[in-house]
Structure 1
Amino acid sequence: MFERIAELVIRRSRLVLVVAVVAVALMGVLGAGAFGKLLGGGYDDPSSASSRAAKVIDRKFGGETNLVLLVSATEGRVDGTPAERSGRALVAALKKERHLENVISFWDTSSPDLRSKDGREAVVLAHVKGNDTERDENAKSVIDAYAGPYEDSLTVRAGGGAAVTSEMGSQSAKDLVLAESIAVPLTLVLLLLVFGSAVAALLPLAIGTIAIAGTFAELFLLGSVTDVSVFAVNLTTALGLGLGIDYALLMVSRFREQLATGASVDDAVRRTVSTAGRTVAFSAATVAAALAALLVFPQYFLRSFGYAGVGVVVIAAVSTLFVMPALFVVLGHRVNGGRLPWANRGRSETRAPLWGRLARTVMRRPALTALPVLAVLLLAASPLLGITFGTPDERVLPEDAASRQVSAVLREKFNGSDDAALHVVIDSPVRKSSLGLYASRLSGLKGVVRVESSTGTYAEGQPTATDPGNPALGRPDAQQINVVSTLTPKSDAAQSLVREVRAVAVPAGTQPLVGGVDAVLVDSKHSVGSRLPLAVALVALTTFLLLFLFTGSVVQPLRALLLNMISLGATLGVMTWIFQDGHLSSVLGFTAQPMDVSMTVLMFCIAFGLSMDYEVFVTSRIKELHDQGADNESAVTNGLGHTGRIVTAAACLLAVSFFAFGTAKLSFMQLFGLGSGLAILIDAVAVRGVLVPAAMRLLGRSAWYAPGFLRRFHARFGLSEGGTAPAAASDPLVRGASEVH
């Protein structure tokens, strides 16, 4: 197949480039509309009890409170004459807003729970209408209209889930622009240093551009038919640029290496596609398989990264296999054009003596060199023993974000927050006596300060004498009960309260649904946790099969999986130490909190896929030398000698794309960027440089073992990097293999 691709591109190189330019233009037009299709949110399981509760409340009760306007009196108390007059005017204006419903305020109800303990602040609760995209736009419209000074006696600040999500979306766009403004120029400089040639340095950017434009077009099409998260854009740009560089770097290096042996341009293209092209194809398959595992999760936040990840990998690989060879044919020896003054014209393009010497040292003393590295990685992984998980809330925003400040005031100055209440919904008729008994039981739970229902307000297991109930919480065919507590939202105690509420005896013939922010967290953790074994199993199985087809060995896939899990454990451990335990929080400017469950899963899949990317890079060259007759030590030493420089350069370039997100103001984007970048560097240096040669030395000839029937299967269906063409006698790889020892 790869030989046919090479022949096609050689014969029709200019046509391939014209088609590519037209395709990029069309993809750019489609992709420009992607941002209008992408949604915020998507962290919860739509089939969970909390999601179903929210749907019932939307359908029958006007929606859950997702916007909290904190109103502060400029002077005196909010129930003073000037503030009260302005407050009533504010509420009247809000009730006329077509984007809002269920507007409730202190001035309407005179409820002390909607006024701060010192009387200087009050809240207005509301539900912002619309789906995720519409809700963000509607919330922003309302916030822009009312936030700030109101008349002369009030100041308004916005909080609640809708405000938090809106601010997260705006901040994400700013973070993306900043990250790319850092990553792109720095990447170009590094490409010039790596290639020593302006023309060669620009080729990887061409592949990255195609991958990003194509994936934006894919997101536009998918966003037209299903829910896709706006945060998929961040992965598209980072991974598209990084993988485009990775694959192009491998192809350009191999092409220049072939030209250096005296091969013609056409022969160099054929050899490059049949060797490095195979590596790119298998590498892309392993990365795509890891990211495709995200599709098993019901949260569209995670699924969106699967859509974007698989798309960007496939498009990067296809453009590398077709566009890059076509550029080689057209450019020929001009691929070395614009050579920089410091570039060494006589050096081999990929031979890195340092990596060869390191591999030789490790193979002679495998235990002595590998054990310290293993010890450090295991120590780095140790914080995982205390890992806890959460979902994004206002704490991922900077401390000066308005919605975060509102949440802090609600916790500190109000007697429980209705915004963080648990919402119990009974979607069927229920007798008042049974409803009152049920609400009374709920009010007796530890941490609950009051329970609000249509039959009355309850506290400490008893109805309060002053509140006859809120008629808006009752319908002939449904009832809503609000369980308000003083517990810190998303804390262990708050999550325990969710389970306790769900365990309370319910009215006969009813099936209450429990919703609210804490219930969403409990359900999200269960949803991700229940599907995580399937995702891991799919990643492991597909990786094993692909590496077996690539190497013909059953030991190599197992060795790769084990080493990758060690490096991933170290990465996740370091991220837990930083973002959960709070180390470096003052430097990076974030608030320590439990690890974001969705982002941790995402980082696992991305880091695993990219580590398999470099696994294929290294193993492909080792396998090529092994198939040419080199002994195990020679194949590993020379294989790493020839791929070490590529892996190092590719890892540094890709890490830059991810590390740029360390400048983000959203803490979970910092986690994503720093974690992915660190995983890449750990894998490229510690695993590929030390653990792989040590494992290969300890395994010896058994590293290439496969049962007889699998060897026969591989002989018929497997693919190796060397292809069917024998290596030329002048190929430095062959000479290098025979010169060792």
Structure 2
Amino acid sequence: MRTGPMPPAAEPDRAAAGTADGVAGHQQPVDAGRRPRSLAFGDMTRFLLDRRWPVLVLWAVLTAALAAGAAAFPGPSHDDFTLPGSESGRAAGLLGGPPPESPGTLVVSGADPGAVRLSLARITARLGAVDGVTTRPGPASDDGRVATAGIDYPDAETAYRIKNMGLSAPGVQVDLAGDDFADFTPGGLTEGVGLLAAAVILLLAFRSLLAMLLPIVIGVVGVVCGRSMLTLLGHLVPTPGFAGYLTIMLGLGVGIDYALLVVTRFRTSLRERLAVEPAIEAAMRTAGRSVLYAGITVILTAAGILFLGPEQGGGIALAAGCGVLMVMLAALTLLPVLLRLIGRRIDRRAARDGRRTPPAARWGAVVQRRPWTTGLIALGVLLILAAPALDLRVGWSDAGNRPVTDTTRRAHDTLARAFGAGAGGPLILVTAEKGDGAPGGCAAPLAAACARAEGIPGVAKVLPAGEQAALVVPDTGPQDARTARLLHRLRADLPAHVLVTGSTAAAADYAAHTAARLPWMVGAVLAASILLLLMMFRSVVVPLKAIAVNLLSIGAAYGVCVAVFQWDVLGRGTGGPIDAWVPTMLFVIMFGLSMDYEVFLLSRIREEYLRTGDNGRAVREGLAGTARVISAAAAIMFCVFAAFGAFDDRALQIMGVGLAAAVLLDATVVRLVLVPAAMQVLGDRNWWWPGDRRAAEPATAPPAAPAAPPAARGPW
């Protein structure tokens, strides 16, 4: 609400400014002697502004201490997704550790078998000269055109040295198999691309260098603190290696967005002739309050991954929570102080902004004239995009999903041609009994199980692998649905004391585990979101509508992921199942981010509704007042996530593309079309609240000052 013109140099009474500006989503009539419910935000802001230098020093010390601690005490990474209580986990326990798989394999192939053998001998001799590296003879193809050798090495740094030794020989092709030899994007490159794109968008949106820099500073400070906190807490909570990238991805995206919202509202208040400190207080009571609710929503929804179990979901939930928590705190405490130091220099040209009606206002009028038509079109688009999600198949990425330029992909393809498609992911039979002189050194029960397995359709061969284990090589590849059916057939037909494990079996067990826990996780996330929205908007219809449209946008993002990565519609030759942990993580994160935009839009709509009592006008004004900032925020988040879609790790690619698609659809089809159309159709029923007519009726407020042209109200 405008406070009316006043001289730019005037310093209005703080309490008066606090009651005049209103609260996003909660403007209620202020009775005599009753404090507005949001005054706590004003108290907190004044507390911070009065102690701005100690706040700056505290953030500087906190950032330096966390970064130094993370550098001095890096936490270990846990990338083993084997479930302890599953059959694959019990089998690994019988073996005393992971299944017997070589960390690396040298693959030499060529047309001349003699040249292949000679080249293999020379290259293994070179590798044997490297400290800590040993080689073992491996199988060769029947025609001698493919020969292999196992490579044992102490750490990833040694693997990097091996990869860069320039292993080659005339007349043959030399490749390396093993995750440590795969190509990976250099650290910082992806993050730098996302930050650069964010800076360009902010500069175009603000047309001010200072206004552009503030959100980036908040995002970077929050991410540094969140990433460092995750590293330190990794000593207490098992955390996968990719968790750090998840913290950076989410922290940069939501951190810059949160700061963008506060800075935009601050500039709007300055344009309404408020002094600097009252403008900051107004921004924090409105945009800051929305940031608090949005951040808590993202953290709570991300915590839903804990329903997979502490060992499987704890590290992932911690990664998301650390990033979002620290950027939220930076936006709520550090940003007001920086705004106070910069003051009116943030926007010297604000008074010369244009006076034309914002495009969003004209678009809102179009949607409101044809709410059923526009709403059904938006719904149809989302349903079409979501259709591929019905074919979602989970599994585990391997070298076969990497680009053909990667040495591990070439090695994978060579081994598949030479030894069969199932050679890259054999199923492993394990028994607790030791060898007793049976053929091949196997225990007699295991030998009997091997003989029985050889007669099962889909088994190419069975090979002994020690006293307690044997390898079952399927006819089909690890990601083929027929291999999963073979796994279930083996477990059903073999004796109970013979367990089946291996990477393929572990992936199947993990997928079954997530599928069983998924209803509980989804229910908890939805319940937490509904409770937060009920508390914020005091409406029954708004939370239910928000849940419905968010689920639609998430389904559409799932469909995009299936089409791109499982169906391989882009023709990259990297198609395969979606990694088993990705759908659950995508759901909780996408739902939280969708709630961000829902909170930002509905806060402004409710503010206008409580001021005017006209639902149609409130929807139109709310859309016009938030479309620009939501579009800019979504563009920033889209660029950050899309940059991670270019990562070499396929699981992170899926995360980046899925989140980018969700943000793009949410900020366009959902927020610009479906939500305003649905709210126009529902009318005043949007704000129904049982037993409290005041929550569904407009407040009796003093007459507002003459409305300024829409452009002068700013983009918030």
Displacement, 1:8? 0.5
Which amino acid in structure 2 is aligned with residue 214 of structure 1? C
Displacement, 1:352? 6.6
Q: 1:388 aligns with which of 393, 396, 419?
A: 393
Displacement, 1:557? 0.8
**For the structure 1 residues 499 and 203, does the alpha-carbon distance in structure 2 shift closer, same or farther, using more than 3 Å as the test?**
same
Displacement, 1:181? 3.2
Structure 2 distance, partners of 1:644, 1:417, is 52
**For the structure 1 residues 630 and 673, does the alpha-carbon distance in structure 2 shift closer, same or farther, using more than 3 Å as the test?**
same
Structure 2 distance, partners of 1:331, 1:216, is 28
Deviations 1:512-558 (A, max 9, x none): 32111221221121122112112211110111010111001121111
| 1:68 corresponds to 2:105 | yes
Within 5 A, what are the aligned runs for 1:41-80?
41-59=79-97, 63-72=100-109, 76-77=113-114
Q: Look up the SS of the partner of 1:122 in the other structure.
A: strand
Structure 2 distance, partners of 1:292, 1:197, is 37
Equivalence for 1:420: 425
Structure 1 distance, partners of 2:224, 2:334, is 15
| 1:439 corresponds to 2:471 | no
Instruction: Answer yes or no: is the 8 Å Cα contact 2:107–2:149 preserved in 1.
Output: yes
Q: 1:619 aligns with which of 595, 599, 602?
A: 602
Query: TM-score, normalized by length of structure 1?
Result: 0.82
Equivalence for 1:488: 477
Q: Look up the SS of the partner of 1:404 in the other structure.
A: helix
**For the structure 1 residues 367 and 228, does the alpha-carbon distance in structure 2 shift closer, same or farther, using more than 3 Å as the test?**
same
Q: 2:77 aligns with which of 35, 39, 45?
A: 39
Equivalence for 1:634: 617
Which amino acid in structure 2 is aligned with residue 407 of structure 1? H
**For the structure 1 residues 70 and 380, does the alpha-carbon distance in structure 2 shift closer, same or farther, using more than 3 Å as the test?**
same
Which amino acid in structure 2 is aligned with residue 566 of structure 1? L
Displacement, 1:562? 0.3
Structure 2 distance, partners of 1:417, 1:314, is 44
Structure 1 distance, partners of 2:52, 2:270, is 18
Structure 1 distance, partners of 2:428, 2:190, is 39
Equivalence for 1:13: 52
Displacement, 1:46? 4.2
Equivalence for 1:561: 547
Displacement, 1:732? 5.5
**For the structure 1 residues 614 and 439, does the alpha-carbon distance in structure 2 shift closer, same or farther, using more than 3 Å as the test?**
same
Equivalence for 2:210: 199
Displacement, 1:669? 3.1
Equivalence for 1:609: 592
Instruction: Answer yes or no: is the 8 Å Cα contact 1:625–1:734 preserved in 2.
Output: no
| 1:376 corresponds to 2:381 | yes
Q: 2:287 aligns with which of 257, 262, 276?
A: 276
Structure 1 distance, partners of 2:708, 2:325, is 29
Which amino acid in structure 2 is aligned with residue 435 of structure 1? L
> Which residues of structure 1 form unaligned runs of 5+?
107-113, 454-471, 716-721
**For the structure 1 residues 320 and 354, does the alpha-carbon distance in structure 2 shift closer, same or farther, using more than 3 Å as the test?**
same
Q: Look up the SS of the partner of 1:423 in the other structure.
A: strand
Structure 2 distance, partners of 1:396, 1:325, is 46
Which amino acid in structure 1 is aligned with residue 595 of structure 2? M
Instruction: Answer yes or no: is the 8 Å Cα contact 2:99–2:502 preserved in 1.
Output: no
Equivalence for 1:465: none
Instruction: Answer yes or no: is the 8 Å Cα contact 1:211–1:315 preserved in 2.
Output: yes
Instruction: Answer yes or no: is the 8 Å Cα contact 2:308–2:517 preserved in 1.
Output: yes
Query: Is the deviation greater in 223-232 or in 486-495?
Result: 223-232
Instruction: Answer yes or no: is the 8 Å Cα contact 1:390–1:594 preserved in 2.
Output: yes
Structure 1 distance, partners of 2:671, 2:420, is 56
Q: Look up the SS of the partner of 1:324 in the other structure.
A: helix
Instruction: Answer yes or no: is the 8 Å Cα contact 1:575–1:671 preserved in 2.
Output: yes
Q: Look up the SS of the partner of 1:65 in the other structure.
A: coil
| 1:502 corresponds to 2:502 | no
Instruction: Answer yes or no: is the 8 Å Cα contact 1:194–1:649 preserved in 2.
Output: yes
Instruction: Answer yes or no: is the 8 Å Cα contact 1:229–1:304 preserved in 2.
Output: yes
Query: Is the deviation greater in 691-700 or in 411-420?
Result: 411-420
Structure 2 distance, partners of 1:731, 1:547, is 32
Equivalence for 2:523: 537
Deviations 1:203-232 (A, max 9, x none): 101110111111111121122233322322
Instruction: Answer yes or no: is the 8 Å Cα contact 1:146–1:156 preserved in 2.
Output: no
Q: 1:473 aligns with which of 461, 466, 470?
A: 466
Structure 2 distance, partners of 1:360, 1:40, is 53
Deviations 1:582-610 (A, max 9, x none): 21234xxx512222332233222222211
Equivalence for 1:467: none
Q: Look up the SS of the partner of 2:77 in the other structure.
A: coil
Which amino acid in structure 2 is aligned with residue 278 of structure 1? R
Q: Look up the SS of the partner of 1:77 in the other structure.
A: helix
Instruction: Answer yes or no: is the 8 Å Cα contact 1:117–1:415 preserved in 2.
Output: no
Q: Look up the SS of the partner of 2:497 in the other structure.
A: coil
Equivalence for 1:362: 367
| 1:596 corresponds to 2:592 | no
Which amino acid in structure 2 is aligned with residue 573 of structure 1? G
Which amino acid in structure 2 is aligned with residue 242 of structure 1? G
Q: 1:524 aligns with which of 502, 510, 513?
A: 510
Deviations 1:355-381 (A, max 9, x none): 222223322321022111111211111
| 1:22 corresponds to 2:54 | no
Equivalence for 2:190: 179
Q: Look up the SS of the partner of 1:664 in the other structure.
A: coil
Query: Is the deviation greater in 648-657 or in 15-24?
Result: 15-24
Instruction: Answer yes or no: is the 8 Å Cα contact 2:91–2:430 preserved in 1.
Output: yes
Displacement, 1:563? 0.6
Displacement, 1:54? 2.7
Which amino acid in structure 2 is aligned with residue 345 of structure 1? R
Instruction: Answer yes or no: is the 8 Å Cα contact 1:381–1:571 preserved in 2.
Output: yes
Equivalence for 2:317: 306
Residue correspondences, number:
667
Q: Look up the SS of the partner of 1:473 in the other structure.
A: coil
Which amino acid in structure 1 is aligned with residue 395 of structure 2? G
Equivalence for 2:643: 660
Which amino acid in structure 2 is aligned with residue 7 of structure 1? R
**For the structure 1 residues 75 and 684, does the alpha-carbon distance in structure 2 shift closer, same or farther, using more than 3 Å as the test?**
same
| 1:119 corresponds to 2:144 | yes
**For the structure 1 residues 57 and 258, does the alpha-carbon distance in structure 2 shift closer, same or farther, using more than 3 Å as the test?**
same
Deviations 1:251-278 (A, max 9, x none): 1111111122222222222222111111
Query: Is the deviation greater in 14-23 or in 301-310?
Result: 301-310
Q: Report percent identity of matched pairs.
A: 32
Structure 2 distance, partners of 1:153, 1:375, is 57
Instruction: Answer yes or no: is the 8 Å Cα contact 2:77–2:239 preserved in 1.
Output: yes
Instruction: Answer yes or no: is the 8 Å Cα contact 1:43–1:391 preserved in 2.
Output: no
**For the structure 1 residues 725 and 414, does the alpha-carbon distance in structure 2 shift closer, same or farther, using more than 3 Å as the test?**
farther
Displacement, 1:730? 4.7
Structure 1 distance, partners of 2:646, 2:171, is 39
Instruction: Answer yes or no: is the 8 Å Cα contact 1:147–1:156 preserved in 2.
Output: no
Structure 1 distance, partners of 2:280, 2:221, is 21
| 1:220 corresponds to 2:252 | no
